[in-house]
Amino acid sequence: MFTVSFGYLQKLFPNLFAKYDISSFKCDVCELAKSHRVSFPLSLNRSLVPFIVIHSDVWGPSNVPTLNGSRWFVTFIDDCTRVMWACLIKSKDEVNMLFQQFYSIMHKFRFFTMIIAEISVVLENPWNHPSSPNTP
């Protein structure tokens, strides 16, 4: 699918736009599609541990709801891994509850990743682990 500019249509059908000034025609979608964002500067302050720093943003309301009626979405981005979660919500009032649920899940997940990291350290070199009987 593509859009045709008014200038191109005027060349194809000169009589169609003879009475109108095409500079008065504005297409919001065309204007937004041509806009460019300036990228954020690189940061050296990136988290070294997953799930310690989470960035979040709320967007909405959308003019067109999803099939289940959601008009907003919330994003959560892990600073270390850049993994992103996007959650659809029906109203902005749900953001606080969603954040609490996300925090609870990430807190449990961080706990399990710490245990897994500790187990992998023990498995890699069991003789240097503090609980090892061979530790000097």
pLDDT of residue 107: 79
Domain containing residue 106: 54-117
Q: pTM to 2 decimals?
A: 0.54
Residue 136 falls inside a structural domain: no
pLDDT of residue 32: 64
Note whether 27 and 59 are same-domain residues: no
Residue 130 falls inside a structural domain: no
- For residue 46, how many other CB atoms are within 10 A of its CB? 10
pLDDT of residue 90: 95
Note whether 95 and 58 are same-domain residues: yes
- Write the burial class of residue 99 (CB in 10 Å: 0-12 exposed, 13-18 middle, 19+ buried): middle
**35 or 92, which is more confident?**
92
Domain count, the chain: 2
Percent of residues, the chain, with pLDDT higher than 70 = 61
| Residue in the block written with tokens 């504005």 | 26
Contact between residue 57 and residue 74 where contact means Cβ atoms under 8 Å apart: yes
For residues 115 and 111, what is the distance between their CA atoms, to the nearest angstrom? 6
pLDDT of residue 135: 47
Residue 128 falls inside a structural domain: no
pLDDT of residue 48: 84
pLDDT of residue 37: 67
Buried b (16+ CB within 10 A) or exposed e, 29-44: eeeeeeeeeeeeeeee
Residue 131 falls inside a structural domain: no
